[in-house]
Amino acid sequence: MHESVLLQETIHGLAIERGDVIIDGTLGRGGHAYKALSVASDTFLIGIDEDEEAIESSRILLDQMFSGRFQLFRGNFRDMDIFLEKAGKKVANKIMLDLGVSSPQIDSSGRGFSFKGNEPLLMTMRRDIGTDKLTARDIVNDWAEEDIANVIFAYGEERYARRIAKAIVGARSVHSIETTEELASIVRASVPASYAHGRLHPATRTFQALRIAVNDELSSLRLGLEKALRALSPSGRIAVISFHSLEDRIVKEAFRSWQKDGLGDSATKKPLVPSEEEIKRNPRSRSAKLRIFIKKA
């Protein structure tokens, strides 16, 4: 089961009112969307997700109580202006983005998001991918050693990026790297023993880096935030949940820049984080940070 992270804090921070148009740019399994539509009557939600299974799962969930009050689109939140227009709405009053990968995607998508199983090295948010779509397999088997190292260092903040990249290139010279289990083993064998047996699995940062690169996540976030600010009505609010420092830094700097330019104010001087109870209930929430911005009236 996927549990929506910082659910109460997000909904409370958005201050949803009757008649609001809400954009959920990362629909997932619909937890935030369901709660948002429950808060006030006559609200309308536009849900966006690249994963077709997430779209269908959310449609079933939301239809139970909110038929006619939502419209779901398959795509990326960087195109929220297009989906807003397709839904026949001029502005959004509230926007939420949960940047995490959902538990079903990690545990059972079959697309290689986790190093714990043995799945194909895809890491694509969409299940149906064309031959022109970049995958993690393409990166580890076809990219130059320096480019692999740069991706792992920049997007994973991995201190042993160069050692890992060298090991990947050495392994692929014997045979192509096809599965998550193979890649995780290569990474573990390439780093110092103390690091390999530390609190964090040694492949965590490498897998994060590859997923970010495959899905162009940081560029999407920057563009999505620009689109969100333009789409928001006066006094509108945006809530963003990030899960690693690269994402949080982009959100923090965007909100700070908007405030400096007189476009509104941050409602969270420091990011909100999960309670100890939530972390105990859902360990995957432990790195989550929530920031909220209120557009000028």
Give the Cα separation of 102 and 86 in Å (integer): 26
Domains and CATH numbers, the chain: 7-104+217-295 (3.40.50.150), 109-215 (1.10.150.170)
25, 38, 108, 283 alpha-carbon torsion, rounded to 10°: 90
Q: Angle CA(124)–CA(82)–CA(61) in degrees, nearest 5?
A: 60
Ranges of beta strands (E only) in 2-57 are 21-24, 44-49
The per-residue pLDDT for range 208-220, each reduced to its tens digit, is: 999 999 999 999 9
Residue 23's DSSP bridge partners are 46, 95
**pLDDT exceeding 70 applies to what percent of the chain?**
96
Give the Cα separation of 195 and 183 in Å (integer): 16
- Give 100's pLDDT tier (boundaries 50, 70, 90): confident
The mean-pLDDT minimum among 30-44, 79-93, 129-143 falls in 129-143
**DSSP 8-class letter at 284:** G
The SS3 call for residue 153 is helix
Q: Which long-range contacts (CB under 8 A, 24 or more apart) does 114-120 make?
A: 114/180, 114/207, 115/180, 115/181, 115/183, 115/184, 115/187, 115/201, 115/203, 115/204, 115/207, 117/180, 117/181, 118/179, 118/180, 118/181, 119/179, 119/180, 120/178, 120/179, 120/180
The contacts of residue 12 (CB under 8 Å, 6+ apart) are none
The SS3 call for residue 189 is helix
Q: Angle CA(98)–CA(83)–CA(39) in degrees, nearest 5?
A: 50
Give the Cα separation of 117 and 184 in Å (integer): 10
The per-residue pLDDT for range 43-79, each reduced to its tens digit, is: 999 999 999 989 999 999 999 999 999 999 999 999 9
Per the structure block, which two tokens stand in for 19?
């008649």
Encode burial over 51-73: b for 16+ CB neighbours within 10 A, e otherwise: bebbbebbeeebeeebeeebebb
The model's pTM = 0.92
- Give 263's pLDDT tier (boundaries 50, 70, 90): very high
